[in-house]
Structure 1
Amino acid sequence: MTSRLAAVLWDMDGTLIDSEPIWIAQQFVLVEQHGGTWTREQGLALVGADMHDTAVAMQAAGVDMDAAELVAALERRVIESLQLEVPWRPGVRELLAELVREGISCAIATTSSHEMAALVAAAAPDGAISVVVGSEDVARTKPSPEPYLRAAELLGVRARDCVAVEDSPNGLAAAIASGATTIAVPHDAVLPGSGDFLMWPTLEGRTVEDLRGSMSNTVADSEGSV
């Protein structure tokens, strides 16, 4: 018998939406505008990182801006891109729509800003995402479990009764520490080969029943059922 699925807690960048290429492209632009150099590898290394860490790395690469100003400028560029089009990851919209039909709540827990996450939530199927936790909504961002614990609290559920979906090492650490059943869906970031999480190659074709089943599956059965 599968466990009760109270809610689904979603990472955003790279999990709900394919935004990492946008982030990295805008990192290139800012660094080059300041006469520095940047590589895709540097951008990928920051997937799932706290925005302060991103600012420090870009300052080291030559961006002569205050950290807060740098983060604001970078996020503004990404938001402007998302306002034109939200690049959903495969299977996400279909799964969100099924969660709505099943009456299962969802939240976003992200290291990006609340504004950006709210934009994505508004573009999701109607009623799919009712809670947003951005970087400024918590004292500690991922890999701390605080974003996921806060998201569960706002939904009125326990994190251990939720499934969290992630794509980065920091995000996995946060989700696992929160007590949520954790599913890794690889994208740009290099993930651990094993751990206290399930590995799904994609969300395409996945169902609410798969999410429920993940709560009683073992890590050894990480491919899950389709």
Structure 2
Amino acid sequence: LREEPSCSRAQRQLWQLAELLLPRAQIGSFNQALMELGSLVCVPRNPDCHQCPVRELCPTEQQGLQDVIPVSLNKPLVQAIREAAVIVQHDSRVLLRRCSDQERWAGLWDFPRFEIRHRRGRALQRELQENVFQLTGLQISAPRRLHIMKHSVTRYRITLTCYGSKLDSACDPQQGLAESVEWVQIPDLEDYPLSATGRKMCRRLLLQ
């Protein structure tokens, strides 16, 4: 077997082979012996072939493939990402945005969310305000940090910093508002299909 053992095609091959090898009698003893052989002798790394009782029947031993089989699964590299989500509030409403088809939470609603480069100071403040404007069409006041959440999505390890802000006092809440954005009363947030992190942020808002 020259494939990674846990993949579906390899699993089918292994089950077919197991059915061919299974004896008609003393099946339990046979299975127990195979499990002990696999745990004590025929281990994935550095198998003890010289002590193997079925060494003469083993094509892997005969062909010298112990260092090749089983094939290791090449795990994708984990990528760390830093993101920000901003809760923009105006009176008793907050700003929600529907994620586009190209985004991670496609079709779901979320607070304005994006990757960030800066970590602190005026540069971070400008980055937050500019990204919110690009996503929503609205200007906001200087955001304040609320809390941090960490989670994983496939090969991404995401550190999400949540911020709170208000609509800029000189800004009309409807003028320039992007099509995918809505002002939502805080009690009505539970009626929207939110992203996983959006739901957690929503719960915090409802508890305030």
**TM-score higher than 0.5 here?**
no
> Higher RCO, 1 or 2 (CA under 8 Å, sep at least 6)?
1
TM-score, normalized by length of structure 1? 0.22
More strand by share: 2
More helix by share: 1
